Amino acid sequence: MNLYKRLFVVLAFVGIVSCDTLELDLQENPDALTLASADVDLVFNTIQFNFRNQMTSLGYLSDGPMRMVNFFGTYNPGQGTMNGNWSQIYNTGTNLDALKSFSDNEGFTFHYGVAQIMQATMYVNIVDYIGTAVFTEANKSGEFPNPGLDAGADIYTAMYDLIDEGIANINGTGRAPLNDLYYGGDAAKWVAYANTLKLRMYLQTRLVNGTESTQGINALIGAGSLIDQPEEDLQFQYGTTPTPIESRHPLFTGNYINGAGAYMSNGLMSYMKDSMSVEDPRMKYYFYRQSDRTAADLISSDIVRCNGNASYDFCTIGDFYYGRDHTDNEGVPGDANIRTTYGIYPAMGAFDEGNLIPASQTSATGEGIAPLHLSSWTNFMLAESALTLGTTGSPATYLEAGMRQALQKVRGFSPANMTTGQIDDYVNEVLAEYTAASNTEKLDIITREWYISSYTNGLLPYNTYRRTGFPSFLQDPIINAGAFVRSYFLPDSELNSNSNPDFATQKSITDQVFWDTNPANFIN
């Protein structure tokens, strides 16, 4: 069944249950399927889309603060920013209860196990972004009509157990789901992702429990089941059809139909273009230039308004790349067909061959991917772990593996436009830099290469930035942007509907999650 048909079936039977558009409290979800009307694969599909929606929503939320795209104005987010991401957990919890019944009564252990892994991921994400969540009393409206919050560290502990339960269920006797949108029913790959989630958690908590992290990571390395090969990449595949249901990549639909809706980051483009003796081979894959108008022309036309303003670091970076500096909050001129936009990776926009025509005039299809966890990221994780904790393996070896996998991943979107020689030149230059660096500089290099490979998904870079303070090349705000968001607000949808004392007052965005032990104002 192709992607469009899968989407149609899910929406036709369960309604639009993507929680990006719902603001639910923790009562029973009125849009969730009941067991009397449910089909196990439709319930599973609902969870799959909740998982995708939360992962991509948080990734896009962090792209701006993490300078992967331009971020306008000050850091202070709205108090409803996390509403959808929060409610997705509890919508999933209701459907997870249904899958447990299917598993217990009809043997659908595979469905249930994978759903447990997706639910564990969503809980870890919320703890990482907010610092707390409702867990112990969640989805028990009869017993706890106004459920309270659990400590982030306690939820992490519970998630290790949930992941282990999920792995055991995946390895049970149940058949694979009919429409596994990520791994096509491959149990081994789901187990590899489950273990990689543990790796992420152990690395995330290395500042608060280094011994446990070291032991846990070494055990995972020894077991040998992690997402460390490209064929194990966790990603969501978009389609090509605009009707009756839009299946194309949202970064394509937002930038290739009615003009570009986002500005690219001058800091990132400048770094990839000019920081090394060789241009990053991903430059023309990540970014598409729409216009041959020169910087002087854009300045004289009042499209670029930063000329002569000393607060800007870049303003224009040359070669017809036109983005914005970090936190530039100037007005938006009529430049939707001029500004640089997303390229062929990962949204299947256009590869930049230097034609310098509007994105809407290209033959791009939008059949891209949402990268949720790539093998290159695992190798960068292991490089950080080996460097900072002394876990098994060579940091330089992991770093090289991560870079090569990241470059090959991008190359796969237009193989003829990146050569093996370009890859070798890039990798060799970074490795030479790494060899000559101090340990602190080595960590900066590892996180930098991880960051660049994570383009369009700022979730893990946001966590890494709070954990390490790197990469150091990120541009400082050009205005007084306020305190960097060390954690997000509790969702106001919950504050307005839950009378538990835990929700009586709002938290601060300067509150640090339990694994973030770095000083205040550590990052900006």
Structure tokens at 415: 């193989």
Q: How many domains does the chain divide into?
A: 1
Structure tokens at 208: 């608060």
Mean predicted confidence (pLDDT) in 290-301: 94
pLDDT digits (tens, 9 = 90+) for 182-214: 999 999 999 999 999 999 999 999 999 999 999
Structure tokens at 122: 């969503």
Residue 521: exposed, middle, or buried by beta-carbon count in 10 A (0-12, 13-18, 19+)? Answer: exposed
Structure tokens at 255: 């930038």
Residue 446: exposed, middle, or buried by beta-carbon count in 10 A (0-12, 13-18, 19+)? Answer: buried
Could you list the residue range(s) of the whole structural domain that residue 144 is in? 3-17+31-185+490-503
| Spatial separation of the C-alpha atoms in residues 78 and 211, rounded to whole Å | 38
Residue 321 lies in a domain: no
So what's the pLDDT on residue 18? Answer: 34
**Where do runs of H (alpha helix) occur along 339-488?**
375-389, 395-411, 420-435, 439-453, 459-468
Mean predicted confidence (pLDDT) in 116-141: 97
Find the helix or strand (DSSP H, E) in which 288 lies: strand 287-288
pLDDT digits (tens, 9 = 90+) for 42-100: 999 999 999 999 999 999 999 999 999 999 999 999 999 999 999 999 999 999 999 99
Pairing of strands 369-373, 234-237: antiparallel
- HSE-CB at 250 with a 13 A cutoff on CA atoms is 11
So what's the pLDDT on residue 38? Answer: 63
SS3 412: coil
Residue found by looking up tokens 């409206």 in the block: 141
Residue 375 lies in a domain: no
Residue 376 lies in a domain: no
Any residues with CB less than 8 A from the CB of 513 and at least 6 apart, and which? 127, 128, 129, 130, 131, 152, 466, 486, 487
Instruction: Indicate if the pLDDT at residue 440 is higher than 50.
Output: yes
Instruction: Indicate if the pLDDT at residue 36 is higher than 50.
Output: no
Mean predicted confidence (pLDDT) in 17-24: 32
Residue 431 lies in a domain: no
Mean predicted confidence (pLDDT) in 425-445: 98
| Spatial separation of the C-alpha atoms in residues 164 and 370, rounded to whole Å | 26
**How is 365-376 classified by DSSP, letter by letter?**
----EEEEE-HH
User: pLDDT grade, residue 307 (50/70/90)?
Assistant: confident
User: pLDDT grade, residue 15 (50/70/90)?
Assistant: very low
Mean predicted confidence (pLDDT) in 300-316: 91
| Spatial separation of the C-alpha atoms in residues 336 and 339, rounded to whole Å | 6
| Spatial separation of the C-alpha atoms in residues 21 and 468, rounded to whole Å | 34
Longest dimension (CA), the chain: 71
Angle at CA of residue 375, ends 371 and 377, nearest 5°: 75
CATH number of 81's domain: 1.25.40
Residue 107 lies in a domain: yes
Mean predicted confidence (pLDDT) in 306-310: 88
**Where do runs of H (alpha helix) occur along 412-457?**
420-435, 439-453
Any residues with CB less than 8 A from the CB of 505 and at least 6 apart, and which? none
Q: Are 479 and 473 in contact (CB under 8 A)?
A: no
Nearest to 368 by CA among 478, 222, 254, 449: 254
So what's the pLDDT on residue 95? Answer: 95
So what's the pLDDT on residue 305? Answer: 87
User: pLDDT grade, residue 483 (50/70/90)?
Assistant: very high
| Spatial separation of the C-alpha atoms in residues 486 and 523, rounded to whole Å | 9
Average pLDDT of the chain to the nearest whole number: 93
Angle between helices 439-453 and 395-411 (to 10 degrees): 20
Pairing of strands 132-133, 234-237: unpaired
Nearest to 277 by CA among 433, 453, 473: 433
Nearest to 124 by CA among 456, 460, 469, 468: 460
So what's the pLDDT on residue 7? Answer: 41
Residue 66 lies in a domain: yes
Nearest to 109 by CA among 117, 100, 118: 100
| Spatial separation of the C-alpha atoms in residues 74 and 65, rounded to whole Å | 10
Structure tokens at 370: 């949402």
- HSE-CB at 201 with a 13 A cutoff on CA atoms is 28
Residue 8 lies in a domain: yes
pLDDT digits (tens, 9 = 90+) for 56-68: 999 999 999 999 9
pLDDT digits (tens, 9 = 90+) for 223-274: 999 999 999 999 999 999 999 999 999 999 999 999 999 999 999 999 999 9
Structure tokens at 369: 């991917």
Structure tokens at 305: 């308004």
Instruction: Indicate if the pLDDT at residue 143 is higher than 70.
Output: yes
- Number of helices (H), then strands (E), in the chain: 17, 6
371 forms bridges with which residues in the sheet? 235
User: pLDDT grade, residue 9 (50/70/90)?
Assistant: very low
* Cβ neighbour number for residue 511 with a 10 Å cutoff: 15
| Spatial separation of the C-alpha atoms in residues 385 and 400, rounded to whole Å | 15
Find the helix or strand (DSSP H, E) in which 118 lies: helix 109-130
Instruction: Give the CA distances from residue 368 to residues 259, 262, 413, in Å, rounded to whole numbers and listed in that order.
Output: 18, 18, 9
SS3 14: helix
| Poorest-pLDDT segment among 7-16, 279-288, 415-424 | 7-16
DSSP 26: S
User: pLDDT grade, residue 13 (50/70/90)?
Assistant: very low
| Spatial separation of the C-alpha atoms in residues 486 and 222, rounded to whole Å | 34
Residue 181 lies in a domain: yes
Any residues with CB less than 8 A from the CB of 421 and at least 6 apart, and which? none
Q: Are 53 and 441 in contact (CB under 8 A)?
A: no
Any residues with CB less than 8 A from the CB of 132 and at least 6 apart, and which? 149, 150, 151, 152, 155, 490
Dihedral in degrees, nearest 10, Cα atoms 228, 234, 238, 239: 70
